[in-house]
Amino acid sequence: MVLRNWLSTTTKAVLGQSLAAKIKNDPFYRFQTIEELQIAAQLGISIDANQATVDDWLRLPGISIHQARALVELTHSGVQFHAIDDIAAVLGVSVDRLKPLQLVLRFCYYDPESVCTVQPVNVNTASLEMLLKVPKIDLHLARAIVAHRTTSPYRNLPHLQKRLSLPPTLTAELMHYLRF
């Protein structure tokens, strides 16, 4: 009986170590249980709710692709989440259902007026004036962006670069300021 308990405890410890290693080494690991969220928190893994990508949200148990997209769309539009209550309100679920996610979620504030905060511009919807505020976009490039998007929206940065024949150096300078 004692041997069985020892083996059981040893097996659990080994499995826990391998799970912790898997969680630590795979930045896209999708957590399945509260126990895995606890391990992630102990490893220092966190997700910033105000900068999370769809992939980040999908790491959390119970978050669907549609919910992840809605959360990202809101943050891209300038909405900031301050607490788990905000996430629950957006998703239309109870706060209690999302409480376990607090183990890895962080709610950081980013001042939109700060010179340190880069506010990416959606090239498919931005006005000419908004595009002109982006570093390295002059009047000629802003007009070209607007003119070419009327036929079809830009899918991503490589698509924009190809359609407008942008040099790689300019594309690299713009990548932090644009979204699609």
**What pLDDT score does 77 carry?**
85
Residue 137's contacts (CB-CB under 8 Å, 6 or more residues apart) are 131, 145, 174
**What pLDDT score does 45 carry?**
97
- Burial (0-12, 13-18, 19+ Cβ within 10 Å), 68: buried
**What pLDDT score does 16 carry?**
58
H or E segment and range at residue 26: none
**What pLDDT score does 111 carry?**
83
Q: Is 105 within 8 Å of 51 (Cβ atoms)?
A: no
> Is this model's pTM higher than 0.75 or not?
no
What dihedral do alpha carbons 20, 22, 24, 28 form, nearest 10°?
Answer: -130
Helix%, strand%, coil% for the chain, nearest 5: 55, 5, 40
Segment-wise mean pLDDT, segments of 10 residues, the chain, 180 residues: 58 69 95 97 97 97 98 92 98 98 96 75 95 95 97 96 97 94
